[in-house]
A and B are shown apart, each in its own frame.
Chain A
Amino acid sequence: MLKVQIILFDKSVLIQHGLSSVIEKIPVAHTIHFINSSDELLSFLNTSVPDLIISNTELIEKKHIKLIQEIIEKEKIKYISLQTDKTYNSDSIPTADTIELNSNENEILEIISMQIGSLEKEDKSKKKEIISTREENIVREIAMGLSNKEIADKLFISQHTVITHRKNITRKLGIKSVSGLTIYAILNNLIRMDEVE
């Protein structure tokens, strides 16, 4: 999937950098945009659509709230509210989750990972992967070290069909070697690293 675009909106440099160093630990390609003011947030949203906003809701100016809320709802952006005060609750912006300032690293990681994870799922259902499910299965078997004959027997197809599939896979992915396909399979979660060899 494409890189996850994350907005971090808070006035405090400490919070911005602290959060971003936690986000770095999540193994998903992403870009973090630091935003310092309500105006800036609005103008960012007017030009591009992030996947996730982590923002201190208190810092969003009253006059902007309605507009920002509309954009978030329209574009289905995940919104995590950053809260300093538990009692404060904005009912205008639909929050997917809340991070409290006294949360520990694991709690924060869990909250953000969950939101990013749900993004990935949506992404997968949205656009089908470049290779078909059948081809994915074959890549899986190749990565496990099976020969054409073994794959054919296992999937109840002819060797000839396996070869045709392999040709198509190579053409689509631009990867020819078995070890190259293995990396592809791992990167795309078709197999786990410990399943190889």
Chain B
Amino acid sequence: MVITKDIKMADVIHMNHFSLSILERFGIELGFGDKSVDETCKIYNVDTDFFLEIINAFIHTEYFPKKQLQNFPVKLITDYLQKTHNYYMQIKVPEIESLIEEMVLSCSTQKENINLLKRFFSEYKEELKNHIQREEKVVFPYTQLIENAFYSDKIDKQTLRQMDEYSIDIFEKEHDNIEEKLYDLKNIIIKYLPQPNNKTLCNKLLHELFGLEKDINDHSRIEDKVLVPKILEMEKGIRKKAGLKV
């Protein structure tokens, strides 16, 4: 079911509790009573249409009215992406780390193996961190530059030069699969790790990994299907305006 602005916010959570993390990113707090999505968004100063697109894209992987999402300002999209970055690095990753740490401490039979997982995950964390830094330092500022240029009347040489140096299709190419290692880690636990004595913790960890993987997939989808096409389109527009070949 596609979520619309008149649905109760509470029902959105009932429908898919993973959407809690999205609400958190928009700064929307629980306790909305019977208020609709629209009413709740207004209270928290959130663009309702943007919220709807994001939450629907998150809940239904096949739902992607790209055109509509592409109409939103770049800043709105990158702000959201940046918030998901913070959510990964400040909440999810530390949560998973402490779960693994707890497993190491409480495990009597598999300490060495769990330590392997720990090392693997810390490698992953580094990778994720680099990935995020690159996006925030290089990609996001570039998208803003392109948008500004696109809406200004004059295209300066500076912008064109930067477009020559870096263009969004470079990002598209180098945008590696950051979920790959999570997938490996899940499979190692599910298929190959001899079950440690603390199974509850192990299941909790798996649950968290599945959650993070879904979230990161969704995140990459917004980048690849919304941000990249939008910028590509604008790059073309700028070249046209500057009288260059497209």
Q: Contact check, B193 vs A25: say whether CB atoms are below 8 A apart.
A: no
List B contacts of A186 (CB < 8 A): 113, 116
| Segment from B22-30, B38-46, B181-189 that makes contact with A | B181-189
Asked whether B4 is an interface residue with its Cβ less than 8 Å from the other chain, the reply is: no
Interface flags for B122-136 (1: CB within 8 Å of A; 0: not) read 010000000000000
Query: Closest CB of chain B to A101's CB: distance in Å?
Result: 24
Asked whether A59 is an interface residue with its Cβ less than 8 Å from the other chain, the reply is: no
List A contacts of B187 (CB < 8 A): 173-175, 180
Asked whether A26 is an interface residue with its Cβ less than 8 Å from the other chain, the reply is: yes
List B contacts of A180 (CB < 8 A): 120, 181, 184-185, 187-188
Q: Contact check, B183 vs A176: say whether CB atoms are below 8 A apart.
A: yes
The CA of A183 and the CA of B189, in the complex, are separated in Å by 10
Asked whether B194 is an interface residue with its Cβ less than 8 Å from the other chain, the reply is: yes
A184 with B192: in contact, given A25-B109, A174-B187, A179-B181 (CB under 8 Å)? yes
Asked whether A177 is an interface residue with its Cβ less than 8 Å from the other chain, the reply is: yes
Q: DSSP majority for the B interface?
A: helix
Interchain CB contact (< 8 A) of B195 among A3, A26, A176, A188:
A3
The CA of A83 and the CA of B110, in the complex, are separated in Å by 30
Q: Contact check, B197 vs A24: say whether CB atoms are below 8 A apart.
A: yes
- Chain B residue at smallest Cβ distance from A29: B194
Asked whether A28 is an interface residue with its Cβ less than 8 Å from the other chain, the reply is: yes
Categorize the interface residue count of chain B.
20 to 34
Q: Contact check, B108 vs A25: say whether CB atoms are below 8 A apart.
A: yes
The CA of A26 and the CA of B111, in the complex, are separated in Å by 12
Asked whether A193 is an interface residue with its Cβ less than 8 Å from the other chain, the reply is: yes
List B contacts of A26 (CB < 8 A): 109
Q: DSSP majority for the A interface?
A: loop
Asked whether B157 is an interface residue with its Cβ less than 8 Å from the other chain, the reply is: no
Query: Closest CB of chain B to A166's CB: distance in Å?
Result: 14
List A contacts of B188 (CB < 8 A): 175, 180, 183-184, 187
Interface residues of A in 17-60 (CB under 8 A from B): 24-29
Query: Closest CB of chain B to A29's CB: distance in Å?
Result: 3
Asked whether B245 is an interface residue with its Cβ less than 8 Å from the other chain, the reply is: no
A24 with B184: in contact, given A3-B194, A29-B195, A183-B120 (CB under 8 Å)? no
Asked whether B165 is an interface residue with its Cβ less than 8 Å from the other chain, the reply is: no
The CA of A57 and the CA of B104, in the complex, are separated in Å by 38
The CA of A28 and the CA of B110, in the complex, are separated in Å by 8
Interface residues of A in 118-135 (CB under 8 A from B): none
Q: Contact check, A27 vs B110: say whether CB atoms are below 8 A apart.
A: yes
Interface residues of B in 158-217 (CB under 8 A from A): 180-181, 183-185, 187-188, 191-195, 197
Interface flags for A158-197 (1: CB within 8 Å of B; 0: not) read 0000000000000001111101100110111000010000
Query: Closest CB of chain B to A55's CB: distance in Å?
Result: 23
A188 with B192: in contact, given A173-B187, A180-B120 (CB under 8 Å)? yes
A183 with B116: in contact, given A25-B109, A27-B109, A27-B110 (CB under 8 Å)? yes
The CA of A42 and the CA of B154, in the complex, are separated in Å by 89
Q: Contact check, B116 vs A177: say whether CB atoms are below 8 A apart.
A: no
Q: Contact check, A176 vs B184: say whether CB atoms are below 8 A apart.
A: yes
Query: Closest CB of chain B to A189's CB: distance in Å?
Result: 12
- Chain B residue at smallest Cβ distance from A3: B195
Q: Contact check, A177 vs B181: say whether CB atoms are below 8 A apart.
A: yes
- Chain A residue at smallest Cβ distance from B194: A29
- Chain A residue at smallest Cβ distance from B184: A180
B: which residues have CB within 8 A of A?
108-110, 112-113, 116-117, 120, 123, 180-181, 183-185, 187-188, 191-195, 197
A: which residues have CB within 8 A of B?
3, 24-29, 173-177, 179-180, 183-184, 186-188, 193
Can you name 15 A-B pairs with beta carbons within 8 Å?
A3-B194, A24-B197, A27-B110, A27-B194, A29-B109, A29-B194, A29-B195, A174-B191, A176-B183, A179-B123, A180-B184, A180-B188, A184-B192, A187-B194, A193-B116
